[in-house]
Every structure is written in structure tokens, then in C-alpha cells.
Amino acid sequence: MELSPVVDDDEDVRSALAWLADVSGDPAAFDLRLRAAQLAYARYTAEPANLGGDSSLRALGPDVVAAFLAQSKSMLDDRRSYDIALSSRCIPWVKQLGVNIAQLAKVPGARERARRMLEDRATEPDGPMLELVMAGNYAADGADVALVPEQVGRAKTPDLHLTFEYHPDPVAIEFKRLREGAYEADERQQQRRIFRKAEEIIHRERLSLHVDVNYSRELKDVPDGYLAGWLQRFLTSPLITLRGYPWHDEFGSGEIRPANVDAVLEDIRDTSLYFGTKLARLLSGAPVRENGYQLAAGLLPDERDPRYFKRFRYGSVITWQCTAPAAIERKTRHVKSKLIEASQQVATQEVGVIHLAMDMELECEASDLRRERNKQVIREFKVENVVAALYVHYLVPRISELNTWIIDETVDRFGAGVDAVPSSMIFPGSAELGNDVPAWRQSIPLPPRR
């Protein structure tokens, strides 16, 4: 029986896409643009060289905005171009936009802000989407909201002005989306360089292993053959402990142990399996971070969809993170520059509020260290008296095997705050878990074993 092309149906997502199509001024052309992005994704993932590779928005072509919005369209009508990793980075923003679309449609400046995003095809959409989503959230809270138009040649202004019946003085709101910087991208590239040497051994020896490594030095200082060298030592070692094969040296620490091949074979007994996070989870026996693993395997792809395989010969997963103090410092450094910029922008009013939003890695010691370093930077930062509250939104896009997409949010609040500003979350409809564990440390339900 053929699978339905619909992954999930969501009225809020439909409403948001319909509003954006109307804002574009040409709904038919808007639909064609998203269809082209879906086709670009299908072509990219059909290439054998891209199996399990980086399906980033920019890898799919120059129209980054269409690639971002196309994931929501694919959820509604095209299973083949729906990506389980990209979906959690894209769909929650469109969903939340649709939740308050009736209120957002009445906000002065909202259509202009959305149209500008749609016209600038190369822009990172999550920045403008943050502004639009929070404008809708504040409007739904009962605030009188206006998106402040940017004026060329004049000092930067805040993103929003808010007024309330019980607080008539305008409140200036500024949003900053802290994306992955060049350092993080370089770090991942350096890990791929190290992985390639290990991958050669995995394929040559047809190995099924889980290699877990925590680098204590910056990856730029780690030799290309670092993991390959430890694999060679493992293969020639006469002694393997019950914990596997652990090591510790000047570059980091790690462990090599057999992968759970039986779990993979059981999973594909009468179906196919996506070459990605679930395979990594089965082989390692634990959930993996989207940007913290690599796979090497011998398999037979499913002819119906090249992203899946139906025969498995061998496979290894490498999971990694870097907790080098220098690496944490480099990843935190841009927080201060964003704070300086934001505090200047809200200084146009007597009361200002700043929202910083950034992605964090699941189950990662480096995320804990980064949060603590952020807190230190913010507490040391001498904000202007105008800044009444600062919210830091830590977002964890998660790949769930029980949900079509999911994102967790943890919010740290700094400053005295003002009662006139009730909104604090980007995704206020999320279920409260009722504990003090940050989003990246929350466990996620897994499907029952068959």
C-alpha cells in the first residue's frame, strides 16, 4: 500500500503559509517557489555522495527562504522532501506564526517585515521569523504592538514598540538571533577531516563499532589520524574490558565498544531505515546530537527512497563533542557584541527589553559550559538603565521518532524586569515539564522495542 504524501496535517502551519503567500503578492508564484525548493531537496538527497551528509538550507541552493518554508509545505504534502533534521529547525517557527496569525495580521509593519524576508532570498529566515513570531505573541498577550521600520542612513532602531492600557509609555523590544558562527562550522569541518581517516579503516575492516570521543583540545590542534590511530590500537589490543576500550591522552578521552547491530537488523526486518539519527541511535544505544555524530556503513539502499536502506552489512557510529575551554570561549564571545548592539537599539525608549535566541546541542557537556559562560558574560556586562529585562532563549531542535518535529526551549531571565512585559517564551504553547533540567538535558521518549 502506498504511503500518504502527508507527514502531518496542521491548521496553524497551513494558516501561516497562506498568510505568507498573500503577503508575497503572488500566491501562485509563492507556491511554485516552494515546489522548486522541494525538488532541489529531492535532487540533492538522491546523490549517493550526499547520503547522510549535511542537508543544511544553504546546501540546497541560493533560495534559503524557500528551503526553510518548504519543510512546512513538505510536512503537508510531500513526504519525499520532508527532512527529519531540518523540520525541527524550520517548522516550529511557521507553526508558532500560525498560532497567532489573526493578531499578527493586525500589527502595523508585520506585512512589510514578512515581505522583506520573502524578497531577500539569501537571508537566514529564523531572524525575521523570530521578530514576526514574537510580535504575534505579544499581540496575543494584549499588547498594542508595532514593528518599527528600519530607516536607511539612521541609527538602528528596536524591532518592536509595545504599549499597554496599564503601561502607556512605549517599551522598546529588540531581538537577536545568535546563529552558528564560523568557529562552529570550522569545528565540524575539522571533525569531518578526522573522521575520514577513521572511516577508511571502518570500511576496510567492515567494522561495527561505537566510538565516543570528548576532545579536551580545540579540534584544529588534533591530528587528522587521531581517531584512526585509536582504532588501530583497538584492533591490535589483546585486552578489551567490559566497558569496551577506553583511552585518555593530551587531546581528549574516549571509548570504543561493539555497536548494537542486532537492534538495526531487528528494525529493518520487514521495513527500511533512514540513514541518519535513528541508525546512529540504534548502533550507539542512546540518542545522538544532530551535529555530534558521523556514520560509516555498508548497506543496500531502498530503491523507493535513497535516504533509506533495506539491507545492512556493517556499520559504525562516531559520537563527539569538544569541551576545550578555548572552544567554549570562542563560541560565547559573540554574546557580548550582540548585547552591546541590542542595548543601543532599545535606548530610544525609557524601558527596553532584549531577547537573545540561540541553538544548543542535545545531551552535551559543552552546552552546560556554554550556558555558564553566557551567564558570566551577561552578569559582567554593564547594561544601560533602560534595559529592564534580558531573556536568553536556548533552543534545542530535536529529532524525535515519535513526533514529526519537536523543539525544546529553556529561558534564562536577567534584570529586574517590568510587569508590563508578560511574554517571555518564543514557543509559549509548549508543555511544561516541571523540573529545573535545561532543554538539552531532557530525555525524549523512544518508541517501544518491537
Q: How do residues 147-205 score in pLDDT, each as one tens digit?
A: 998 766 566 789 999 887 767 778 899 999 988 778 888 999 999 999 999 999 999 99
Q: Which residue has better confidence, 378 or 68?
A: 68
Average pLDDT of the residues in 311-327: 94
Average pLDDT of the residues in 203-229: 97
User: In this predicted structure, what is the pLDDT of residue 60?
Assistant: 87
User: In this predicted structure, what is the pLDDT of residue 296?
Assistant: 95
Residue 5's pLDDT band (cuts 50, 70, 90): confident
Q: Are residues 198 and 166 in the same domain?
A: no
Q: Are residues 78 and 152 in the same domain?
A: no
Residue 383's pLDDT band (cuts 50, 70, 90): low
Q: What phi and psi values does residue 308 have, to the nearest 5 degrees?
A: -115, 160
Q: Are residues 169 and 233 in the same domain?
A: no
* Domain assignment present for 447: no
Lowest mean pLDDT across 379-393, 396-410, 418-432: 418-432
Among residues 99, 119, 139, which one ends one of the domains? 119
User: In this predicted structure, what is the pLDDT of residue 14?
Assistant: 97
* C-alpha of 104 from chain center: 25
User: In this predicted structure, what is the pLDDT of residue 439?
Assistant: 74
Among residues 104, 119, 134, which one ends one of the domains? 119
* Cell, residue 292: 555530534
Distance CA 264, CA 410 (A): 33
Residue 95's pLDDT band (cuts 50, 70, 90): very high
Q: Are residues 317 and 336 in the same domain?
A: no
* Domain assignment present for 157: yes
Is the model's pLDDT at 423 over the cut of 60?
no
* Domain assignment present for 140: no
Name the pTM for this structure: 0.87
Q: Which residue has better confidence, 329 or 400?
A: 329
* Domain assignment present for 142: no
Strands 167-178 and 351-359: parallel
Please name the residues in contact with 292: beta carbons below 8 A apart, sequence gap of 6 or more.
319, 320, 321, 361, 362, 364
Q: Are residues 15 and 44 in the same domain?
A: yes
Q: Are residues 299 and 192 in the same domain?
A: yes
Helix, strand, coil content of the chain in percent (nearest 5): 45, 25, 35
User: In 3D, which of 190, 134, 130, 128 has the Cα closest to residue 161?
Assistant: 134
Q: Are residues 154 and 257 in the same domain?
A: no
User: In this predicted structure, what is the pLDDT of residue 1?
Assistant: 38
* Domain assignment present for 138: no
Q: What is the pLDDT of residues 152-167, one digit of tens each?
A: 656 678 999 988 776 7
Is the model's pLDDT at 415 over the cut of 70?
yes
* Cell, residue 173: 523590544
Please name the residues in contact with 180: beta carbons below 8 A apart, sequence gap of 6 or more.
359
- The length of the chain in residues reads 450
Burial 115-128 (b: 16+ CB within 10 A, else e): eebbeeeeebbbbb
Q: Are residues 412 and 386 in the same domain?
A: yes
User: In this predicted structure, what is the pLDDT of residue 85?
Assistant: 82
* Domain assignment present for 355: yes
User: In this predicted structure, what is the pLDDT of residue 393?
Assistant: 93
Q: What is the mean pLDDT of the chain?
A: 87
Among residues 322, 357, 382, which one ends one of the domains? 322
Q: Are residues 48 and 31 in the same domain?
A: yes
Q: Are residues 249 and 347 in the same domain?
A: no
**Number of structural domains found in the chain:** 3
* Domain assignment present for 136: no
Is the model's pLDDT at 420 over the cut of 70?
no
* Domain assignment present for 266: yes
Provide the domain limits for residue 27. 11-119
Q: Which residue has better confidence, 43 or 432?
A: 43
Is the model's pLDDT at 101 over the cut of 90?
yes
Q: Are residues 89 and 103 in the same domain?
A: yes
Q: Are residues 205 and 318 in the same domain?
A: yes
